[in-house]
């Protein structure tokens, strides 16, 4: 009988590509993206449904080699939902050990407490407009630190008010940086900006830079 524990860790990968970071506090910086395959959520505004299935199995060594080809300082591991694959934390640690600044984009339904502390955790709290608000793991919020980020994708005025209530309930302004993003082609960015200014929120307004540059397509 083969000892499965002796097998090298692998991940199913949809794509590895080099682009400008389109969101978060490192927006605009050249970044290597490692997009893992699979996601347990089905958000109404999802722009990466092509990553729900398929992909290619790769060892952690192969992934690291492909990342290194681009010569970048920043690496973002994303999905789908990267934490749906058990070997994701091991990949994050390997990338940190290699000297990269590493961020993880997660949908907030998976536990983030056991990840390498060097990783910047970008947690997307699902708003009612996503259709997946019931999947939020609110216990994650207390585990975040000042280097982490919380993202709200706002679909409409109801989502905006809901997000304000969550911020107040969990005192998120004291926890870490908060990102408000308009749902692409659903809520005008200028409208969200006006609400933020009107209410004098201590949040970072962001748009998806890559979509403004290259449109809504894979690999950017």
Residue-range definition of the domain harbouring residue 162: 9-214
* 1 inside domain: no
Full pLDDT tens readout for the chain, 220 residues: 444 455 679 999 999 999 999 999 999 999 999 999 999 999 999 989 999 999 999 999 999 999 999 999 999 999 999 999 999 999 999 999 999 999 999 998 999 999 999 999 999 999 999 999 999 999 999 999 999 999 999 999 999 999 999 999 999 999 999 999 999 889 999 999 999 999 999 999 999 888 888 877 777 7
Residue with tokens 């000297």: 99
- Residue 199 in domain: yes
Residue 7: the pLDDT is 65
pLDDT at 211: 84
Of 78, 169, 74, 179, give the one whose Cα is nearest residue 125.
179
Are 162 and 128 in contact by the 8 Å Cβ rule? The answer is yes
Residue 38 lies in a domain: yes
77-89 in b/e form (b: 16+ CB < 10 A) is bbbbbbbbbebbb
User: Is the residue at 2 inside a domain?
Assistant: no
The pTM of the full predicted model, rounded to 2 decimals, is 0.92
What's the number of domains the chain is made of?
Answer: 1
Give me the pLDDT at residue 4, please. 46
pLDDT at 6: 55
In the chain, how long is the greatest CA-to-CA distance?
A: 66
* pLDDT of amino acid 2: 42
Rounded Cα gap, residues 189 and 194, in angstroms: 9
Query: Residue 154's domain is classified under what CATH number?
Result: 3.20.20.70
- What local confidence, expressed as pLDDT, does residue 188 receive? 96
Sign of CA pseudo-dihedral 80, 40, 5, 2: negative
């Amino acid at each position: 009988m083969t000892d499965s524990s002796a097998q090298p860790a692998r991940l199913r990968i949809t794509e590895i590509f080099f682009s400008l970071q389109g969101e978060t506090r490192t927006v605009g910086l050249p970044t290597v993206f490692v997009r893992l395959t699979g996601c347990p959520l089905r958000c109404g505004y999802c722009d990466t449904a092509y990553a729900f299935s398929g992909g290619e199995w790769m060892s952690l060594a192969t992934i690291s080699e492909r990342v290194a080809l681009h010569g970048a300082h920043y690496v973002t591991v994303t999905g789908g939902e990267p934490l749906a694959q058990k070997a994701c934390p091991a990949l994050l640690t390997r990338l940190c050990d290699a000297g990269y600044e590493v961020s993880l984009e997660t949908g907030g339904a998976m536990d983030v407490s056991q990840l390498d502390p060097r990783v910047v955790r970008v947690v997307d709290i699902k708003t009612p407009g996503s259709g997946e608000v019931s999947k939020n793991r609110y216990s994650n919020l207390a585990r975040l630190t000042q280097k982490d980020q919380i993202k709200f994708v706002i679909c409409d005025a109801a989502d905006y008010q809901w997000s304000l209530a969550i911020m107040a309930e969990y005192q998120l302004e004291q926890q870490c940086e908060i990102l408000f993003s308009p749902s692409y082609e659903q809520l005008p960015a200028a409208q969200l900006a006006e609400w933020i200014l009107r209410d004098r929120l201590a949040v970072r307004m962001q748009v998806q830079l890559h979509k403004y540059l290259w449109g809504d397509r894979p690999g950017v």
